[in-house]
């Protein structure tokens, strides 16, 4: 180390207090024993990604030195918090400490000896979950987004989403969720692929006419992304199976085309506390919203009763523009990813409508009904009717 470098280090040590690994270890032990009653310190690992992958101190936040100025304020917004920085040997953490002080952080400490000394003392360290090379390439564009990143991608890979229906809405939703890396996709659909489906149900193809839609979707997804575990249910959702099936999933995509299933799914999702991302299409118009139990209205708040059968035409009777389900299905997929990652503002209490002819989106505010029999103050969702004799506007 040259004289200039030694001078820089000397000044840094005059400005930034240092704790030994023993002091850091003892402080963390006291906090653990106090059960959060003492003011916690925040550990920040400023090493590079490849160093972090070899191990880190449990509970540490990873903010590489090269990204410190860009990311630290989001990671630690409270500048009065006690921040302990560490690197491999204690040099970069001193430099990083000076930077944080210049940014207004009041209590910055550098761990002398760094992670190397921490390991040398025999203290506990963790090995991070690491993506395979293939996963890093596949999801590289997600990894570049701060709101997703590697940890967010792991969340998606660990998530379980149930698609009710592998038809017009289920097709684009399943396809893009699979591409995004949703680790487990459940698909429930007892119908088979018909030639008339292929105008809008893009997850199927001509060669699979006559096959079950759920199995056809599984083949397409597996060909797109081998990371995805696809669970198929060749059955219809009814009172005997709905709670059993949805219990295993984080959220549900409602791609149904009939009112009985929508009401049944709504009531079961409230009992099981599962968000439902609802979508529907009709000719040139579509809509999407999120029904999140205990946080906004439910389906019965918005539609207390279904319309009479005469006002609920089937797909064959009313028709639908083939590309419209793609727009609505992709909005459903987007809402699913937002919910799973806990980012953005999901469409809870908001109904987004789309008019394809006018190329126009509109938003309606939805409100929870305190007297709703499914989610209100005196609700009894387990005893509500499903209107089995009612047709449906198609989905």
Positive or negative, the CA dihedral 164, 165, 166, 168 is: negative
Q: What is the mean pLDDT of the chain?
A: 92
pLDDT at 36 over 60: no
> What is the pLDDT averaged over residues 29-41?
74
pLDDT at 390 over 70: no
SS3 for the chain is CCHHHHHHHHHHHHHCCEECHHHHHHHHHHHHHHCCCCCCCEEEECCCHHHHCCCECCCCEECCHHHHHHHHHHHCCCCCCEEEEECCCCCHHHHHHHHHHHCCCCEEEEECCHHHHHHHCCCCCECCCCCCHHHHHHCHHHHCCCCCHHHHHHHHHHCEEEEECCCCCHHHHHHHHHHHCCCEEEEECCCECCHHHHHCCCCCCHHHCCCEHHHHHHHHHHHHCCCCEEEEECCCCCCCCHHHHHCCCCEEEECCCCHHHHHHHHHHHHHHCCCEEEEEEEECEEEEEEECCCCCCCHHHHCCCCCCHHHCCCHHHHCECCCHHHHHHHHHHHHHHHHHHCCCCCCECEEEEEECCCCEEEEEECCCCCCCCCCCCCCCHHHCCCCCCCCCCCC
Per-residue pLDDT at 395: 39
How do the domains of the chain map onto residue ranges? 3-120, 159-383
Q: What percent of the chain has pLDDT over 70?
A: 94
Which tokens hold the place of 1?
A: 């180390």
Report domain 3-120's class.
alpha beta
353 vs 305: which has the higher pLDDT: 353
17 vs 31: which has the higher pLDDT: 17
Q: Return the active site residues.
A: 315
> For residue 375, which of 306, 258, 295 has the smallest C-alpha distance?
295
Per-residue pLDDT at 394: 43
Q: What percent of the chain has pLDDT over 90?
A: 83
Fold designation for 159-383: Rossmann fold (3.40.50)
Q: Do 159-383 and 3-120 have the same topology in CATH?
A: no
Per-residue pLDDT at 7: 81
Q: Residue 5: which pLDDT band, with cuts at 50, 70 and 90? A: confident
Per-residue pLDDT at 34: 76
Per-residue pLDDT at 55: 95
pTM (2 decimals)? 0.81
Per-residue pLDDT at 257: 86
> What is the pLDDT averaged over residues 188-217?
97
| Partners of 251 in the β-ladder | 161
Per-residue pLDDT at 4: 73
Per-residue pLDDT at 383: 87
pLDDT digits (tens, 9 = 90+) for 115-173: 999 999 999 999 989 899 999 999 999 999 989 999 999 999 999 999 999 999 999 99
Per-residue pLDDT at 317: 59
pLDDT digits (tens, 9 = 90+) for 296-345: 999 999 999 888 766 666 555 579 999 999 999 999 999 999 999 999 99
pLDDT digits (tens, 9 = 90+) for 262-289: 999 999 999 999 999 999 999 999 999 9
pLDDT digits (tens, 9 = 90+) for 48-83: 999 999 999 999 999 999 999 999 999 999 999 999
Per-residue pLDDT at 311: 66
């Amino acid at each position: 180390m040259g004289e200039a470098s030694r001078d820089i280090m000397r000044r840094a040590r005059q400005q930034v207090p240092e704790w030994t690994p023993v002091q850091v270890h003892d402080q963390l032990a006291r906090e653990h024993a106090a059960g959060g009653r003492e003011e916690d310190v925040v550990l920040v690992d400023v090493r590079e990604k490849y160093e972090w992958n070899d191990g880190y101190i449990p509970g540490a936040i990873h903010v590489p030195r090269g990204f410190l100025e860009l990311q630290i304020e989001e990671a630690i917004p409270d500048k009065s918090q006690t921040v302990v920085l560490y690197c491999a040997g204690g040099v970069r953490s001193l430099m990083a400490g000076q930077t944080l002080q210049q940014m207004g952080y009041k209590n910055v400490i550098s761990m002398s000896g760094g992670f190397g000394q921490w390991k040398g003392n025999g203290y506990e360290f963790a090995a991070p979950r690491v993506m395979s090379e293939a996963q890093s390439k596949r999801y590289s564009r997600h990894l570049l987004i701060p709101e997703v990143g590697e940890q967010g991608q792991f969340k998606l890979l660990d998530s379980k989403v149930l698609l009710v229906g592998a038809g017009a809405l289920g097709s684009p939703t399943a396809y893009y969720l699979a591409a995004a890396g949703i680790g487990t996709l459940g698909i429930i659909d007892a119908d088979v692929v018909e030639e008339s489906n292929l105008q809008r149900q893009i997850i199927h193809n001509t060669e699979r006419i006559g096959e079950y839609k759920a199995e056809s979707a599984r083949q397409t997804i597996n060909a797109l992304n081998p990371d995805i575990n696809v669970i198929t249910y060749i059955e219809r959702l009814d009172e005997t199976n709905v709670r059993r099936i949805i219990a295993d999933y984080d959220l549900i995509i409602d791609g149904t085309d009939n009112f009985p299933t929508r009401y049944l799914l709504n009531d079961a999702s409230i009992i099981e506390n599962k968000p439902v991302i609802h979508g529907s299409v009709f000719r040139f118009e579509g809509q999407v919203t999120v029904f999140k139990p205990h946080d906004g209205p439910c389906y019965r708040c918005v539609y207390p009763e279904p319309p009479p059968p005469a006002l609920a035409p089937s797909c064959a009777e009313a028709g639908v523009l083939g590309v419209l389900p793609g727009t609505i299905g992709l909005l459903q997929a987007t809402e699913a990813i937002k919910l799973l990652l806990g980012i953005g503002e999901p469409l809870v209490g908001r109904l987004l409508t789309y008019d394809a002819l006018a190329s126009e989106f509109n938003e309606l505010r939805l409100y929870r009904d305190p007297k709703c029999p499914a989610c209100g103050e005196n609700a009894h969702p387990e005893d509500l009717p499903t209107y089995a004799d009612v047709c449906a506007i198609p989905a």
